Structure 1
Amino acid sequence: MRAKVLIRLAVAVTIVGVVFGGVFAFQRKLIYLPTGGPLPAAAGVLPGGRDVTLTTSDGLNLASWYFPAPGAKAAVLVAPGNAGNRSFRAPLARALTGRGLSVLLLDYRGYGGNPGEPSEEGLALDVRAARDFLAREAGTPLVYFGESLGSAVVTELATEHPPSALVLRSPFTDLAAVGQRHYPFLPVRWLLRDEFPTRDTVARVKSPVTVVYGAADSIVPAGQSREVAKAAGARVVEIPGADHNDLVLSEGPELVDAIVGAVR
C-alpha cells in the first residue's frame, strides 16, 4: 500500500515538474507573439515614408519604418506591444503625422521578419537603436510612446536617455503581475525570466509622463495602469469602457490627443 502511494506521489511530482519545466522553457513563446513579413515599403503605407535599418549594439539589423512630418515639432518613437508587427501601428503613424509629428515605427527582433529572438534584454537593445536613429535624424525633441509591453521597454530607456515626454498606454506594474492574473495556477513570479518592472522603473524617470488606459481592460487591469501613473506622478487619461485591444486604444482620438498634448 505504501509503495503504491509513493509511486503515485512520484508520478504526480514528475507531472508537475514536466509542466513547470515546459512553461519555463517555452514561456517566451507565450509572452512574445510576433507576426512576420513580408511587409510593404514604408512609402506605400504613407507618402514620404522611409524604410530604415536599425543596427543594435549586438549586431542585429532591424527593419523599421520612419515617417518624417514636414516642419515636425517632435518625433515619436513607437515601441509596440507583444503582438503583431509595425503594419498594425500604421494608422497611429498616419494620425500622428497628420498632427505634425514625425514617427518611427520600431519592429523588435523577431518581429516583422527581423532576425533574433525577443527577450527583455534584447528589446532594451532594440529600442536604444531606435532612439539613436531618431536622435541623429529627427532634429526635434523626442517623445517615447510605449504600448502595453512597450511601455516597460520605453520606461527603462527613459531612465538612461530622458525624452521630452513619455506616454504609456496600458502599462502593467510588472510582467509577473499580469502573468499571475492569467495563469493563477502557476508560480509565475518564480518562473519568469523577463521581469519588465514598469512601476518601479517609472519612479526614476525625470521626464513628464502621461498614462492612457482603458477602464475595461481585460488584459492589463486598469488598477495596474493607475499604480504606474501614481508612481510616476503622471497625467492620466482613462478611456471609459475601453478594452485592451480596442481601436480607441490603438489609434483613437483620445490616444492621439494624449501623445500630441505631451509635446513640450
Structure 2
Amino acid sequence: MRGSASRLGGMGPFPVAAVVKVLAVLAALWLLLVVLAWAFQSRLIYLPDTSAPAPPGTPGLEEVGYRTGDGLELSGWFLPARGEPVTTVVVANGNAGNRANRLPLAEGLAERGHSVLLTDYRGYGGNPGSPGEEGLIADLTAAVDYAASRPDTDPDRIVLLGESVGSGVAAAVAARQPPAALVLRSPFPELADVARTHYRFLPVGLLLRDRFETGARLARYDGPLLVVAGDDDSIVPTGLSREVAENHDGRYAEIAGAGHNDAALLSGREFLDAVDTFLREAV
C-alpha cells in the first residue's frame, strides 16, 4: 500500500491551470463562432442566383415588372392558365435560386387551370437590392398588388404559395392582405426552430435578425390553409411543417420519400394535384 501511495504521489498535483487554459481556448473559439454566425448570418440564410434569367420559350409566358413600396423595380414572369383561370397563384420562393427554377411549378399549375406569377425577391434573378426579411415581405406585397391590377386576374381569387423561407414571407403578407387561400410548402413555426436543428451549439434564438415567425403571422390569418411537406426533409424537419398545420387548423399533405429540394415537392404530380384540389375547394 505504501508503494502504491508513493506512485500516486509521484504524479504531482492535478494540472488545474492546464485545464483552465483548455477551457478558455474552447470558450474563445465558441465565442468566435457566435460572432461569425451573427455577422454572416445573411449569407447562411439567403443563397440567391443573382443572374437575370432569360425568358424561356413557354407559350404565353410574359415577362413583367412592378414597383415595391420602397422604390425598387422588380421583374417576374406571368404564365396564364389554360382556359378560364380558377385562381392566380403568386409564388414566394425559398431562399435559393431564382424564378427560372420554379418554371416547372408554373407550367404544372397552368395546365391545371391556374394562372401563376413567378416572383423574384430583391437581390435575386437580376433584381436590385439586397435580401432581408422586411424587404422580402415588401417584394411579395408588391407582386400581389401587381397581380390584382391585371385585367386577366380576379382579385378575389389570388392565392399565395410559399416554399420554405418563402412560407414565412407568404404568411406575413397573408396576415396583412388575406388571400383567397394560402399554400405553404415545407414551412416552420419560426426560422429559429430550423436553425436549432442544424446549429445546436449556438444561441440561435438570440442571434437571428430575420426571424420569419410563420406561426405568429398565421395567428392573424383565418382563411383556407394547405401545408405540404416531404417525409424525408433533412433541411426543414417534417415535424415542424406538421406542427404548422396542426396549430393553425390547416389541411396537411405529406409526400412519401420527398426531400426538401426534390422535384416531387416542386412540380411532382402528387404535389400539384394536392394544390389544385385544395384551391378548387377553397375558392
TM score, norm. by length of structure 1:
0.93
| Residue 58 (structure 2) aligns with | 46
Secondary structure in 2 matching 1:236:
strand
Aligned with residue 110 of structure 2, among 77, 88, 97: 97
Q: Is the contact made by 2:52 and 2:127 (CA closer than 8 Å) also made in structure 1?
A: no
Distance 1:167 1:45, change over 3 A: farther
Q: Which runs of 5+ in 2 are unaligned?
A: 1-14
- Larger-gyration structure (1/2): 2
TM-aligned CA deviation for residue 240 of structure 1: 1.4
| Residue 132 (structure 1) aligns with | 145
TM-aligned CA deviation for residue 53 of structure 1: 1.3
| Residue 49 (structure 2) aligns with | 35
| Residue 3 (structure 2) aligns with | none
Taking only aligned residues, the RMSD between alpha carbons, in angstroms, comes to 1.9
Q: Does 2:26 align with 1:16?
A: no
Q: Is the contact made by 2:184 and 2:226 (CA closer than 8 Å) also made in structure 1?
A: yes
Counterpart AA for 1:169: R
Secondary structure in 2 matching 1:95:
helix
Q: Is the contact made by 2:49 and 2:97 (CA closer than 8 Å) also made in structure 1?
A: yes
Aligned with residue 55 of structure 1, among 62, 67, 75: 67
TM-aligned CA deviation for residue 203 of structure 1: 2.5
Q: Does 2:254 align with 1:238?
A: yes
Secondary structure in 2 matching 1:22:
helix
CA separation in 2, counterparts of 1:22 and 1:89? 32
CA separation in 2, counterparts of 1:104 and 1:62? 13
Q: Does 2:221 align with 1:205?
A: yes
Aligned with residue 124 of structure 2, among 111, 117, 120: 111
Residues 129-167 of structure 1 deviation map (CA, whole Å, 9 limit, x = unaligned): 000001111432111101111111111111111111101
User: Aligned pairs, how many?
Assistant: 262
TM-aligned CA deviation for residue 100 of structure 1: 1.4
Q: Is the contact made by 1:97 and 1:103 (CA closer than 8 Å) also made in structure 2?
A: yes
Aligned with residue 148 of structure 1, among 164, 168, 171: 164
TM-aligned CA deviation for residue 6 of structure 1: 7.7
Q: Is the contact made by 2:230 and 2:260 (CA closer than 8 Å) also made in structure 1?
A: yes
Counterpart AA for 2:100: S
Residues 71-107 of structure 1 deviation map (CA, whole Å, 9 limit, x = unaligned): 2121000111111100000001111111111100010
Aligned with residue 81 of structure 1, among 85, 94, 112: 94
Counterpart AA for 1:75: T
Q: Does 2:239 align with 1:223?
A: yes
